[in-house]
Chain A
Amino acid sequence: VTALQFLESLIPGAAQGLTDFLNGIATKFPDTAAEVATVLGKLQTAVDPANVAATIEAAKSEAGSFIKTWQLDPRDHPSDSIG
């Protein structure tokens, strides 16, 4: 299962729409073609179920630590700006 397939399982049509969107950017702005290819490569990387489970476990552990200490441990995630 790739990241794109995982997205598709959550939101039908999302994978094709996102791929078309990114390819459209690369076509419109050829300078971005290499970066678009990198992003598409990341999206097509296999998602190991064990890694997904590990991510959920990590998030649960982080939440537990935060509730105990109230210490923030921020990261810069571009997807957070979706809102």
Chain B
Amino acid sequence: MRLLKAAAIAAVLLLPSTGHAAKFQDAVGLAVGAQYAAFDQNVGSARHEMELGATQWLSITPHLSGVGGEFYGANNKYGVARAGLAMTLTDVNDPLFSARVAFERRWCTKQEIEKDQWVADAGVGWKALPWATLIASGEYGLTDTGLVTTVGVRVPFKVAGGAK
């Protein structure tokens, strides 16, 4: 149910306005990915996890993007989803490297692993290969003050905007 709610909010964030369908096609991005997540003692019972999933984003303005993602924890067998708003801190016209801060809502099917709450996130993405982007991020839970540190890879099959 929580994942359905997360998917619904992500869909609202990413749905096109009918008058800008062509523009929407240029602004949306989609990727599949894998990541290693490390949890500090405030997060929950697990200390680390390998997660597999997908991410979506809508580049709204040069600095602002609606972002979302859904991942499955393979060892602890849980689903976690996030949706929110990200602000790019680095050169917005650099398609190879960027850093961001984000404010997102997180939902998880197992509260003992990751609690539902608002989170603040800081991260970087580096397009190391034409088909792969390496990511690293730190996510701070605003309720439990837990820190989730993540490194991983994304394989985008649709990117937003292109270099301008």
Is B a genuine binding partner of A? Answer: yes
A-B contact count (CB 8 A): 185
| Contact digits for A45-57, partner B, Cβ 8 Å, 1 yes 0 no | 0000000100110
Interface residues on A, range: 35 or more
Binds A, one of B42-50, B94-102, B109-117: B94-102
| Contact digits for B26-41, partner A, Cβ 8 Å, 1 yes 0 no | 1101010100000000
- Known A11-B140, A32-B128, A70-B19; judge A78-B96 contact (CB<8 A): yes
Q: How far is the CB of A79 from chain B (nearest CB, A)?
A: 4
In the complex, chain A residues 45-83 whose Cβ is within 8 Å of any chain B Cβ: 52, 55-56, 58-59, 62-63, 65-66, 70-83
Contact B86 A79, beta carbon cutoff 8 Å: yes
Contact B125 A14, beta carbon cutoff 8 Å: no
Q: Which of B53, B57, B164 contacts A80 (CB 8 A)?
A: B57
Kindly state whether residue B92 has any CB partner on chain A within 8 Å: yes
Q: How far is the CB of B68 from chain A (nearest CB, A)?
A: 6
Q: Which of B98, B150, B162 contacts A78 (CB 8 A)?
A: B98
Q: How far is the CB of B84 from chain A (nearest CB, A)?
A: 10
Contact A59 B162, beta carbon cutoff 8 Å: no
Contact B151 A3, beta carbon cutoff 8 Å: no
Q: Is the interface of A mostly helix, strand, loop or mixed?
A: helix
Cα of A81 to Cα of B54 in the assembled complex, Å: 9
Q: Interface centre among A6, A56, A75, by most B CB within 10 Å?
A: A75
Contact A70 B17, beta carbon cutoff 8 Å: yes
Cα of A21 to Cα of B52 in the assembled complex, Å: 19
Cα of A81 to Cα of B63 in the assembled complex, Å: 14
Q: Which of A3, A58, A75, A83 contacts B55 (CB 8 A)?
A: A83
- Known A7-B138, A21-B151, A71-B23; judge A78-B67 contact (CB<8 A): no
Q: How far is the CB of B163 from chain A (nearest CB, A)?
A: 6
Q: How far is the CB of A46 from chain B (nearest CB, A)?
A: 13
Name the B residues within 8 Å of A13 (CB-CB): 138, 147, 149
* Residues in A lying within 8 Å of B, measured CB to CB: 3, 6-7, 10-14, 17-18, 21, 25, 32, 35, 39, 42-43, 52, 55-56, 58-59, 62-63, 65-66, 70-83
Give 17 pairs: A residue, B residue, CB < 8 Å, sorted on A.
Answer: A13-B149, A39-B126, A42-B90, A59-B64, A70-B19, A71-B20, A73-B59, A78-B95, A78-B127, A80-B98, A80-B100, A81-B55, A82-B67, A82-B100, A83-B31, A83-B33, A83-B70
